[in-house]
Amino acid sequence: MRFLEIDGKRYVWKDILQRRREQLKQSRQPQPTLFDLKEDARPPTERTAAGRYLEPTLFDRNRE
């Protein structure tokens, strides 16, 4: 199949495949971030909600 007809217009199949390859290539590229990423300096247990629930540090910080 060399041509594809859509709504009365003929498209070359090779061109369609080439455009699809370009779309796939662009989708694999990473997107730019909206803000600068920063390292999380908290202890490992405080980085997740489950860790904060299991080991609360509210009262530990008041002692210092």
Per the CB < 8 A criterion, the answer to whether 24 and 16 are in contact is no
Residue that wins the pLDDT comparison between 57 and 13: 13
Q: Is residue 14 part of a domain?
A: yes
Residue 8 DSSP symbol = T
Q: Is residue 59 part of a domain?
A: no
pLDDT at residue 63 greater than cutoff 60: no
d(CA 51, CA 40): 14
Domain residues for the domain of 13 are: 1-28
Q: Based on the structure, what is the number of domains in the chain?
A: 1
Q: Is residue 7 part of a domain?
A: yes
Q: Is residue 43 part of a domain?
A: no
For the stretch 3-48, pLDDT in tens is 889 899 999 999 999 999 999 999 898 888 888 888 988 888 888 9
Does residue 1 sit in helix, strand or coil? coil
Per the CB < 8 A criterion, the answer to whether 11 and 4 are in contact is yes
Q: Is residue 22 part of a domain?
A: yes
